[in-house]
Copies of this chain bind each other. A is one copy, B any other.
Amino acid sequence: MLDLETFRHSTSHIMADAVKQLFPASKLAIGPAIEDGFYYDFDTEKPFFQDDLIKIEQKMAEIIKENLPFERTEYSHQKAEDVMKDEPYKIELIRELPDDKVTFYKHGDFIDMCRGPHIERTGLVKHYKLLSATGAYWRGSEKNKMLQRIYGTAFFTKEELDAFLAHREEVKKRDHRILGEDLDLFSIHQEEAGPGLIYWHPKGATIRQLIEDFWKSEHRKSGYQFIYSPHIAKINLWKTSGHWDFYKEYMFSPMDIEGQNYILKPMNCPGHILVYKTRVRSYRDLPLRWAELGTVYRYERSGVIQGLLRVRGFTQDDAHIFCRIDQLHKEIMDVIKLAIHIFRSFGFSDFKIRLSTRPAHYVGTIERWDMATDALRQAVESLNIPYETAQGEAVFYGPKADIDIRDCLGRAWQCFTVQVDFNLPERFDLYYSAKDGTRHRPIMLHRALMGSLERFFAILIEHYAGAFPSWLAPTQAIILPVTPEQIEYAKKTYSELLSKGIRAEIDSRDERLSERIKDASLSKCPYILVVGEKEEKEQTIALRQRAKKDITTISLDDFIKLIKQENNPKD
């Protein structure tokens, strides 16, 4: 039985063979199979372009046609270095190998150091495709030379390859970085301002405000209150919290203010704890559910920063719940329910939960851990959501649950976390006074539903392919007067919509109607309202719905009713 990994790895040898034949000066680095295919890194004088990939594919076809056998050999270290004498990267690797023997695989004239296994003959490869070329540092380190990587894939059947390529095309079309620019949603100014720092443009900011308003209103209904805390604090706060010890590599370098070191906050928790400590809290005051759209800054290497998905500054939809042990169960249930409700409201319906339990080293009592873990488990089970248990994989301060949401392309994104914390209440000496006046430690829950607004926005853009549902669309309706004679009627329509809280625009540019309809469609606005002589006379509008061909003539009132119905997310 042929396994796909072996199959793809052999294809990467065939590709390397083709590259060496076409570009004999190129040096081989490594070429493993990966999740969706394979790659091979080469040290070449210039990058590979699309034309090169086509030539390489053609050369691969020749090698496949020859149906060459893959042959395994073992050499001594000395012999191995001889065989690879023109391949400096291979020599480097050979010298690190602990074994006496080094395994090689050969097909035709191409020989590569490789553990194997491989398929029997090159002719078995039929359905393959080179996907892209990109720069990649030797051994992934920016200190090393930049090599040229070619990504490719291979499948057993044509159907599988076609499905993969179609999916890939769809993912590309939905790329939030491209849509973000096309739809004028956000920008990143790597050179001028720095990588991983997001500027939300008016249209993106409108969506963000709609998300925030919805989030706040749902939290208010669920008994949350809000906090605003500053973005910097003295370094000592992070020493008390333990972040300076455990999290330092993600924290930005300190700023000196009057001889004291201040740090940009990577977390909101210590701030909420300071607020907790401003008053003596009674058992009656708990639970306290404090939420903050808190913008945090975390260091990520510039090499791993990517669009809105991996950034240096992002806004967490954070909250901390301070509760008694007898309240923990309900609080966890409610948090998970709220998360699922929010996700459903954005059109996600496929979830997977991972429950992480007590590790070898932990703080708090086993009894509390068990209680918290049971509460998490029961919450998940009562919601009928599939879950897996990651035994012993919680961090030392408490059990947690994560939720992956699956988007319309079936990709899983981790957003939600609820984390039980027995540790910070200890470190900051938090307490509440019981009915009898004795002091007790509250338990803290950390939770973020969407995780980061930036990342969630990326997921939404790709999930909706930029065609946001009406309640989230930055512009809900674009009004197009057929001729300048209808501009007045268009303006009246516009004012009417605005006064009803509908986000509308007029496009009365001196362009042909078909041109303006095309532009409005490209903007992915859900409704296009065309008003001509007939519509003005009848006080109606000609309505085009996004992704629908037919045009309906309706009264403005009916349109307002229609859009108002869509103005709230549906769970």
Contacts and interface: CB of A to CB of B under 8 A. Distances in A.
A206 B189 contact: no
A313 B228 CA distance: 12
Contacts of A187: 274-275, 278
Contacts of A441: none
A15 interface: no
A230 interface: yes
A233 B194 contact: yes
Given A189-B274, A193-B237, A313 B202 contact: no
A272 to B, nearest CB: 9
A233 B198 CA distance: 11
Given A202-B290, A206-B225, A230 B197 contact: yes
A146 to B, nearest CB: 17
Contact of A232 (B206, B290, B313): B313
A509 interface: yes
B194 A234 contact: yes
A249 to B, nearest CB: 13
Nearest to A271: B199
A256 interface: yes
Interface of A: 184, 187, 189, 192-194, 197-202, 205-206, 208-209, 216, 225-234, 236-237, 240, 252-258, 260, 262, 264, 271, 274-275, 278-279, 284, 290, 295, 297, 299, 301-302, 312-313, 509
A209 B200 contact: no
| Complex copy number for this chain | 2
A264 B297 CA distance: 11
Given A192-B237, A284-B509, A227 B200 contact: yes
A295 B313 CA distance: 14
B184 A199 contact: no
B297 A258 contact: no
Interface of A is mostly: mixed
Contact of A253 (B199, B255, B299): B255
Given A192-B236, A194-B257, A252-B262, 19 more contacts: A187-B275, A193-B230, A194-B232, A194-B262, A197-B233, A198-B228, A199-B230, A201-B227, A201-B275, A202-B290, A205-B225, A205-B227, A206-B226, A231-B313, A232-B313, A253-B255, A255-B264, A264-B264, A284-B509
A270 to B, nearest CB: 8
Contacts of A231: 231, 264, 295, 297, 313
Contacts of A227: 199-202, 205
Contact of A226 (B194, B205, B253, B271): B205
B302 A258 contact: yes
A216 B216 CA distance: 15
A274 B193 contact: yes
A165 to B, nearest CB: 32
Nearest to A208: B228
A187 B271 CA distance: 11
B202 A226 contact: yes
A201 B226 CA distance: 7
Nearest to A258: B302
B313 A230 contact: yes
B274 A198 contact: no
B197 A232 contact: yes
Contacts of A197: 230, 232-233
